Amino acid sequence: MDHKSRYQRIRDWFSSKQKEDKPSYGFKEIEDGVENESDDYRIDLSLRSLELDPCISTNKLRIFVGTWNVAGRSPVGSLAVDLDEWLNLKNAADIYVLGFQEIVPLKTLNVIGAEDQGVATRWNQLIGRTLNTKFGCPWMTPMLNSSISSNDDENNYKYENSEGSNKYTLVASKKMVGVFISVWLRQELMRKYCISNVRVCSVACGVMGYLGNKGSVAVSMSIEGTSFCFVVAHLASGEKKGDEGRRNHQVLEIFRRTCFPRTTKHHHYPLTILGHDSRIFWLGDLNYRLYLEDNFARQLIRKQDWKALQEYDQLQKELEEGGVFEGWKEGNIEFAPTYKYSSSTSNRYSGALPSKSWEKQRTPAWCDRILWYGKGVEQLHYFRSESKFSDHRPVSAIFSTQIEIKSSNRGLVELHNMNIPPTMLHPNHGMNTGDEDAKSSLLSLIIKDVQGC
């Protein structure tokens, strides 16, 4: 049966259930965001499998998520000390998801030229050495087939003792100009569970809307019966009035254009960010600033009054008022703004009086953030590290989440309780222009997951 007829079956199923008027299915009527002469849809999806396996158990996993804008600097040996502190290795996690921005300088040649994977390899080597040496394990270079590309048709990971006694294995890595993601799993996790369908996607939305100086890289993967999505983004810079609108637009573009490749055997795996099982993490240099004059911001920083400072935070306004990240969560910020420091050796924010003539005047801000979406995720810690390697400070979070362990893999596609906020899908929300290409709706996202991107 082709994908188109499968989608038609889904629409017919929705229509029949609406006619039955059974409230237990939770259907609600809302505006789709795209004009339709015949009907409007707002759907609280509860599409269940016809053959659900009743034997399901859950196990908890510990996930470390970290983001760092390294200001175009290459990894060097001395950076291992900074990585050790950043990765919080006293309390080891099952999964390490590391997002970087500006791993290369954002010069014209790097943006429009061919991708150079050498710097990404050096970062992966240093990360692997840091993770594994901490546990007294020998270091070996990551296998080439552990670095997933968007052209891979299928990637199912079962444990093989191919890397000696390493504690952690690289399972996915993707670079787009300066944006970079690196995902590592504890080998004990790989022995115990099936790690399947590891895929990557990149979205360039910088200069002219399509160059990679700004944008995102993302990884999708499944652990047993639970899918995960990790998105690393570098959004538009600037602290002028209206710059937040450009960032909002890029967020919507990343939602709209992120499409993970379909595998040949497993058609039920999610293709879009919002198609995952409530385990979605968005991290990076999001560049949201403060609606506050520089001198007042610095006064609150000196007082360490983080709560008062957050009242002027642009991203916090988006989260509270139902902006592009409606329904997403962020932990309580109890640390100083992470940007911009005057130099890689200084604890002083750039532009503070008396300032140097060559310094950029920047109001300090929490540019580096970690968000998550959906149920089943608990944030345990949210903190910054104090490395002076860059003019940004690294930011990290530790999460606890559950995964479903199924006794068998019977069952068809299951899209269960995808409570997608309506304004996140509204075509013009948060934009300064009426970009028709940015139009998306809940139905269009479902079409992507059923028909392919």
CB 181 within 8 A of CB 218: yes
Instruction: Give me the residue label for tokens 């079409």.
Output: 447
Q: What is the pLDDT of residue 309?
A: 97
pLDDT per residue over 200-224, tens digit each?
999 999 999 999 999 999 999 999 9
Q: What is the pLDDT of residue 346?
A: 78
Q: What is the pLDDT of residue 102?
A: 97
Q: What is the pLDDT of residue 332?
A: 96
Give just the sign of the alpha carbon dihedral 46, 156, 284, 368: positive
Please compute, for residue 218, the number of CA atoms within 13 A of its CA located in the half-sphere on the CB side.
Answer: 28
CB 178 within 8 A of CB 106: yes
| Cα gap 67→330, rounded to integer Å | 14
Q: What is the pLDDT of residue 430?
A: 42
Instruction: Give me the residue label for tokens 């995808």.
Output: 418
Whole-structure pTM value: 0.76
pLDDT per residue over 128-182, tens digit each?
999 998 765 544 444 434 344 444 434 444 434 444 557 999 999 999 999 999 9
DSSP 425: G
Residues of the chain with pLDDT under 50: 7, 14, 17-52, 138-163, 409-443, 445-451
Nearest to 13 by CA among 53, 52, 48: 48
Instruction: Give me the residue label for tokens 């000696």.
Output: 164
| Cα gap 115→138, rounded to integer Å | 30
Q: What is the pLDDT of residue 344?
A: 61
E strand spans, 309-367: 328-329
Q: What is the pLDDT of residue 263?
A: 73
Q: What is the pLDDT of residue 246?
A: 96
DSSP 376: S
Residue 99's SS3 state is strand
